[in-house]
């Protein structure tokens, strides 16, 4: 009964920082926590395919009475994540990462993305119409506003644009969403 006990720390996403991971790894403490959303970029998920992920044989309680076709399904894939410190002299820390794909979460994320794209398209349409007007007299002001819209609506990865000026210096905005980025196969994580 008095033997050595291993410790597994379970926490929320606040645990996953360079300083915390460094201290836990140095102390030999194992930990599990969800990665903060901003630490796993969309490009990571886009590069991974569901065919590489293992199907998990688990049914959430809310799906217990549903047929297998109606149930949410899960797939998991293991890889590594590298944390970098604030200083150049800080060693990189590599930790094990488990990526989980949920069909329900994927559907919710698609709906949220579609909503962001619709709002961004509305904002960009208004900006394109305002070129040369009182607030957007030059290309620099349009590009600055484009940056704000792309960041606010989180569409920078798929937004493509070109700003031109006519012989009188009146700017014009031409934009579109990159279909290759938007049409990543649904099988991707």
- Per-residue pLDDT tens digits for 172-185: 999 999 988 887 65
The DSSP bridge pattern shows strands 8-10 and 171-177 to be: unpaired
In the numeric block, the tokens 């300083």 are attached to 19
Owning domain of residue 157: 113-183
State in Å, rounded, how far the first CA of the chain is from the last one.
44
Residue 45 and residue 188 in contact, taking contact as beta carbons nearer than 8 Å? yes
* Residue 62 shares a structural domain with residue 142: no
Domain count of the chain?
2
> In this structure, what are the phi and psi dihedrals at residue 184, rounded to the nearest 5 degrees?
-55, 140
* Separation of alpha carbons 179 and 168, rounded Å: 33
* Residue 14 shares a structural domain with residue 101: yes
Average pLDDT over residues 137-164: 93
Average pLDDT over residues 45-68: 83
pLDDT band at residue 97 under the 50/70/90 scheme: confident
| pLDDT, greater one: 115 or 51 | 115
pLDDT at 187 over 50: no
* 92, 108, 124 - which closes a domain: 108
* Residue 18 shares a structural domain with residue 74: yes
* Separation of alpha carbons 13 and 34, rounded Å: 5
Those residues with Cβ within 8 angstroms of residue 128's Cβ, 6 or more apart along the chain or in another chain: 172, 173, 174, 175
Using alpha carbons, list the distances in angstroms from residue 24 to 28, 75, 93: 6, 28, 11
* 30-66 exposure pattern, b = at least 16 Cβ within 10 A, e = fewer: ebebebeeeeeeeeebeebebeebeeeeeeeeeeeee
Asked whether residue 188 is domain-assigned, the answer is no
Q: Token pair for residue 166?
A: 């006519």
* Residue 124 shares a structural domain with residue 43: no
* Residue 145 shares a structural domain with residue 166: yes
pLDDT at residue number 8: 86
pLDDT at residue number 36: 77
* Residue 134 shares a structural domain with residue 103: no
* Separation of alpha carbons 34 and 41, rounded Å: 14
Q: Token pair for residue 11?
A: 């926490």
| pLDDT, greater one: 185 or 13 | 13
Asked whether residue 179 is domain-assigned, the answer is yes
């Amino acid at each position: 009964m008095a033997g050595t006990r291993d410790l597994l720390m379970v926490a929320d996403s606040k645990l996953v920082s360079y300083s915390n991971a460094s201290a836990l790894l140095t102390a030999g403490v194992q930990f599990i926590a969800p990665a903060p959303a901003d630490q796993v970029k969309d490009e990571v998920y886009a590069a991974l395919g569901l065919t590489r992920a293992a199907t998990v044989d688990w049914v959430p309680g809310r799906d217990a009475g549903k047929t297998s076709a109606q149930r949410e399904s899960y797939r998991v894939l293991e890889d590594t994540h590298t944390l970098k410190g604030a200083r150049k002299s800080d060693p990189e820390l590599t930790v094990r990462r488990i990526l989980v794909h949920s069909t329900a979460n994927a559907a919710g994320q698609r709906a949220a993305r579609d909503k962001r794209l619709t709002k961004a398209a509305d904002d960009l349409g208004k900006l394109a119409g305002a070129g040369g007007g009182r607030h957007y007299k030059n290309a620099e002001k349009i590009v600055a506003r484009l940056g704000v819209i792309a960041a606010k609506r989180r569409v920078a990865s798929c937004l493509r644009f070109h700003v031109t000026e006519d012989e009188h210096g009146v700017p014009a905005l031409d934009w579109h969403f990159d279909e290759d980025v938007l049409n990543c196969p649904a099988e991707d994580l």
